[in-house]
Amino acid sequence: MIETKRNYFPRGGWDTHHHIFDPSFPYSPDRHLTPPPATIDAFTDFKKRLGITKSVLTHGLSYGDDCSSLKAFIPELGPETTKAIGVIEPETTSDDEIMAMHKAGVRGVRVNLYQYRAMADVELQKIALSAHAARIKKLSLPWSLTMTTIYPEFWSKLQPFVEENISRDGIPLITDHFALLKGPSMLPAEYRDDPTTQPGFEPIMNMVRTGRLYVKLSAPYRVSEQKPHYSDLKFLVRAFVDANPNQILWGSDWPHTPRMKVRTHEEAMAETPFMDVDDEAWLQSLRSWLSDEEWDKVMVENPSNLFGQ
């Protein structure tokens, strides 16, 4: 067991992607996943064990666009150390509700592609992005926008759209989980010798390089089979950081929900267990691939700039 707190976070560190699931707040009847409880006390223990000092609570899509749970969790987690990413319904969530979310500590919104039936439709993803960006722009909020597509190849079409419609308005765009680019262990044979040729790699790196996309190095188990150290992701970490170290974040994805997929209604309603992940082994790998300066940017400087206001 590595001594993470002493050796790995000398200046503290941000976990920019975690969830809380408390069944006392009802899940959405249209949810895509039913998770077991993941309590504030359990996350607090996790946070202390790793030495994390600040975090970004990401609204679980199992709650739909009802952020009542999110606003209740922030005070219990500690508003001085916790910001949040919420979910809205752009056509129906009121301005008053959005401003109340901001006052509670929300500093961004994630696009619920399940709600738009857009998981496999890039044109619907553009519509969803536009709708959410319009609400942020209307209220002049210093919020980010997060969208994660399960098809990285879609970024070839999303890149010009984002440049014209999102970046132009100064709205930071974030994508989770390595943009779901894969390590060789999860790639088809044709891409394993040169994983930089996998679909989506070039447009994603171009957007990172030009400062139009933030990428979270989160949930390595979604893009690699080589647990617990995920050694085949070194090339991907280095590619992101070498493209632009100012655009890279880290998130635990605690409590480690399963890989993203479209589930049947019956599958979505059945409780699905969390994944068993050795977070410290993964942090050990990540730390070994980054310089002191790069580590500080990823863990402290970048998230402070993005969420610390």
CATH number, domain containing residue 71:
3.20.20.140
Question: Is residue 4 domain-resident?
Answer: no
Question: Is residue 68 domain-resident?
Answer: yes
Kind of pairing between the strands at 82-86 and 214-218: unpaired
Q: For the chain, what is the domain count?
A: 1
Question: Is residue 9 domain-resident?
Answer: no
Please count the other Cβ atoms lying within 10 Å of the Cβ belonging to residue 214.
24
CB 227 within 8 A of CB 277: yes
Alpha carbons within 13 angstroms on the beta-carbon side of residue 276 total 0
Question: Is residue 36 domain-resident?
Answer: yes
What does the alpha-carbon distance between residue 258 and residue 122 come to, in Å, rounded to a whole number?
23
Tens of pLDDT, residue by residue, the chain (309 residues) = 344 444 688 889 999 999 999 989 999 998 989 999 999 999 999 999 999 999 999 999 899 889 999 999 999 999 999 999 999 999 999 999 999 999 999 999 999 888 888 899 999 999 999 999 999 999 999 999 999 999 999 999 999 999 999 999 999 999 999 999 999 999 999 999 999 999 999 999 999 999 999 999 999 999 999 999 999 999 999 999 999 999 999 999 999 998 777 788 898 999 999 999 999 999 999 999 999 999 999 999 999 999 987
Question: Is residue 1 domain-resident?
Answer: no
Question: Is residue 276 domain-resident?
Answer: yes
Q: Across all residues in the chain, what is the average pLDDT?
A: 94
* 85-101 pLDDT, tens digit each: 999 999 999 999 999 99
Alpha carbons within 13 angstroms on the beta-carbon side of residue 248 total 24
* 184-222 pLDDT, tens digit each: 999 999 999 999 999 999 999 999 999 999 999 999 999
Question: Is residue 285 domain-resident?
Answer: yes
Structural domain boundaries enclosing 152: 14-308
Q: Is the dihedral of CA 261, 264, 265, 269 positive or negative?
A: negative
